[in-house]
Amino acid sequence: MTERLSSSELTGEDVPGRTRQAAPGRAGQAVGARTGEVPAGGTGKAAAGRTRRTGGTRPGRGHPPDADGTPLPPARLAYDRHTWKEIAHLLSNLPVALFGFTYVVTVLSVGIGLTVTVIGIPLVAAGLLGARHLGRLERARARALLGVRVDEPSRLPLRGAGGFLPRLWMALKDPVGWRTVLYDFIRLPWGVLTFTITLTSLFVLWPVLPFVARGLANADRAMVRGLLSPSDELERRISELEAGRGTVVDTAAADLRRIERDLHDGAQARLVNLAMGLGLAKEKLLEDPDTAAAMVEEAHGEVKLALQELRDLARGIHPAVLTDRGLDAALSSVASRCTVPVRVTVDLKARPAAAIEGIAYFTVSELLQNISKHSGASSASVEVWRTEDRLLIQVWDDGRGGARLEGGTGMRGLADRLGAVDGLFVVDSPEGGPTTVTAELPWRDRAEASGRK
């Protein structure tokens, strides 16, 4: 426990009978602070660690103050982490470029030299496929060290190309593989240059190294974006179509599961119950005709319910009114079943292709169901019209708003379905309403679609 000092000790006066000395801890610090000098008897680490204070800011721990008492900033590295990543990328250019150059020169020179034989051209094709993997590694390195986000090119559809010769030709004309070969070929002199400049600057020109590294790294970024990115608009289009195909397959599988569930839980269960009821009525027909008649009447009601469920199921697959009379009549039928008054306006001089018409119908049907269940609206409207080569749908309601694609109301599924056929799905639903959902679909004439079939 630290001994409490008297007022005479704090002012530095000698007290008879007691030897004055620098007390450790808080007492010694108090003496130095009040008298403005190092206490007598403070030797070694205690004396050296105490400095005269004439005001100003208290120095930070572990950071000695300068001449005027201002604490010095903490020691830190001269470069930030982004600069160190760029330096690491530039230093690794040489070994990576050396490996890529060796691969390209070896594979292509051997393959081209053996083109007079049977194995020459297949060897070149295999080399181009291997170059694709080198490009993937380079994109990963640039992504980790340079922060360059480059989309991965789509895979070559070799499985669907047919026999050996079509696959061989597809690999030989692969633009991604040839651009990667060009990238690896020119990288060796560039790797030597960047390695030399960076290593020299690290020891000699280190004050300007961040600026040098940033300039060289920007050149690397330009090479990666120019030579290792997907080919062109066609590559992007292929990626979109692959994603759309997956959405269509998943949607079709989900629809099949829904139909199977509805049949099993609805019409099938009622038909089983109907068969059992008719069997019991048959047994009681002679013994108790009145009871048998009542059971037949009950079975007749079950038949009606089963027929209604089958009609609803068929309408969910593809309603007959849509096939016979088009969107106007079909959407009016859907609107009549909505719990909110709906005004339907269809301005189409011709009917679109059956597939587009079906997607438009189910989109509006799903949106009207959401209005009935979640919106709290008092009125709604549906408008359908054509603008050039697009079919536009707009569904509006004056409900509470707040609808989102991720809100669990099925809108994400609608957006995916429309995106799979080059459509758009936009939701504008501020809190408090109103909600406006706009959908676009590509227009295809019904006669043109029938001719393709």
**pLDDT tens, position by position, 167-216:** 888 888 888 889 999 999 999 999 999 999 999 988 888 888 889 999 99
- CA nearest to 342, candidates 364, 374, 322: 364
Residue 91: per-residue pLDDT? 93
Rounded alpha-carbon distances, angstroms, from residue 135 to 80, 131, 141, 153, 193: 28, 6, 10, 10, 21
| Fold adopted by 236-315 | 1.20.5
Domain chopping of the chain, boundaries? 81-230, 236-315, 318-452
pLDDT for residue 411 is more than 50: yes
Q: What are phi and psi of 40, to 5 degrees?
A: -65, 145
**pLDDT tens, position by position, 304-326:** 777 766 766 665 566 777 777 88
pLDDT for residue 88 is more than 50: yes
Single pTM value for the model: 0.44
Instruction: Check residues 63 and 414 and name the one with the higher pLDDT.
Output: 414
Residue 3: per-residue pLDDT? 41
**pLDDT tens, position by position, 332-361:** 888 888 888 989 998 888 888 888 888 888
List the CATH code of the domain at 318-452.
3.30.565.10
**pLDDT tens, position by position, 102-132:** 999 998 888 888 888 888 888 888 899 899 8
What are the DSSP calls for 27-91, one per residue?
Answer: HHHHHHHHHSSPPTT--HHHHHT-----SSPPPPTT--B-TTSPBPPPP--SS-HHHHHHHHHHH
Query: What type of residue is 400?
Result: R
